Amino acid sequence: MSVPRYFTLNNGEKIPSIGFGTFAPANVVGDAVCHAIEIGFRHIDCAMLYENEKEIGAAIAKSMKLRGLDRGDIFVTSKVCTRCVQRLSLKHLGLKYLDLYLIHLPTAFHTKNMESNLQQRAMEGLVAAGLVKSIGVSNFNGKQVDRILAVCSIKPVVNQIEVSVNCMNRKLIEHCQSKNIQVEAYAPIGSPGIPSLLEEPFVKKIATAHKKTPAQVLLRHALQRNLVVLCKSVTPSRIESNFDVSPGFFYHIY
């Protein structure tokens, strides 16, 4: 079973199926992004809360110049928590537009004046201004997704949530897919503070049988669920291994 290199969003835009996560210290993230682009990543996932967008922007610019890439060759996502600072990501990253902009977390200060709804309207304005191609949400549950759908003029294209074999999120994924909202999986190889999925016997057994790494098995599993996967590392060998889950990765994980 092959997995697509891209998924088509509900507005017709295409998103690479494998993204590079950038939740890393500012002093190391630039080199990691450069290496990710060098070995083939074309989807970079950022967030203002990570406090490293300037370093990421410099790395993207450097890599594009070095490799003769156009802006359209790199899909860049960022996330924001308050509408008051929505344009700062563009400034920090040094970009004229974002491919995807997400509300990082659902927030509500008053039940009749939900902050997430206000953010949604402000982000729709960024689309109208040509500063953002697509908008979406992150860490929203089903009811929160429905609330956004009830008030939006531009439908969210993505809900970025935690998904792994320890956190399957089946009902939420099915709900989003029924609304034609693409699900992005962060932490597909597990989260800190819980038993490591990379050491799980069943994961290691599958990896050994197919001569793959445990991380590759977990990433492939998420891809086969038609999820965009986000993988992060600052170690060059792991960056390369994480990207090598689509071409030639021909087995199906049940």
Tell me, what's the pLDDT at 250? 45
Distance CA 105, CA 186 (A): 14
218: domain range?
A: 6-243
Phi-psi label, residue 108: left if phi above 0, alpha if psi -120 to 50, beta otherwise: beta
Number of domains in the chain: 1
Is residue 117 situated within a structural domain?
yes
Tell me, what's the pLDDT at 254? 46
Residues contributing to the annotated binding site: 104
Distance CA 156, CA 173 (A): 14
Tell me, what's the pLDDT at 106? 87
Distance CA 119, CA 11 (A): 19
Is residue 91 situated within a structural domain?
yes
For residue 39, the domain's CATH number is 3.20.20.100
Is residue 248 situated within a structural domain?
no
Tell me, what's the pLDDT at 223? 95
Is residue 49 situated within a structural domain?
yes
Tell me, what's the pLDDT at 119? 81
50 is catalytic: yes
Partners of residue 137 on adjacent β-strands: 103, 159
Is residue 254 situated within a structural domain?
no
Residues contributing to the annotated binding site for substrate: 104
In degrees, rounded to 5, the angle at the alpha carbon of residue 30 between the alpha carbons of residues 27 and 33 is 140
Is residue 250 situated within a structural domain?
no
Is residue 180 situated within a structural domain?
yes
For every one of its 254 residues, what pLDDT tens digit does the chain have, with 9 covering 90 and above? 577 899 999 999 999 999 999 999 999 999 999 999 999 999 999 999 999 999 999 999 999 999 999 999 999 999 987 665 678 899 999 999 999 999 999 875 455 545 567 788 889 999 999 999 999 999 999 999 999 999 999 999 999 999 999 999 999 999 999 999 999 999 999 987 677 899 999 999 999 999 999 999 999 999 999 999 999 999 999 999 999 985 445 455 54
**Candidate list 6, 50, 101, 254, residue with the active-site label:** 50
Is residue 193 situated within a structural domain?
yes
Q: Which residues of 142-181 are buried (b: 16+ CB within 10 A; e: fewer)?
A: eebbebbeeebebbbbbbbbebbbeeebeebbebbeeeeb
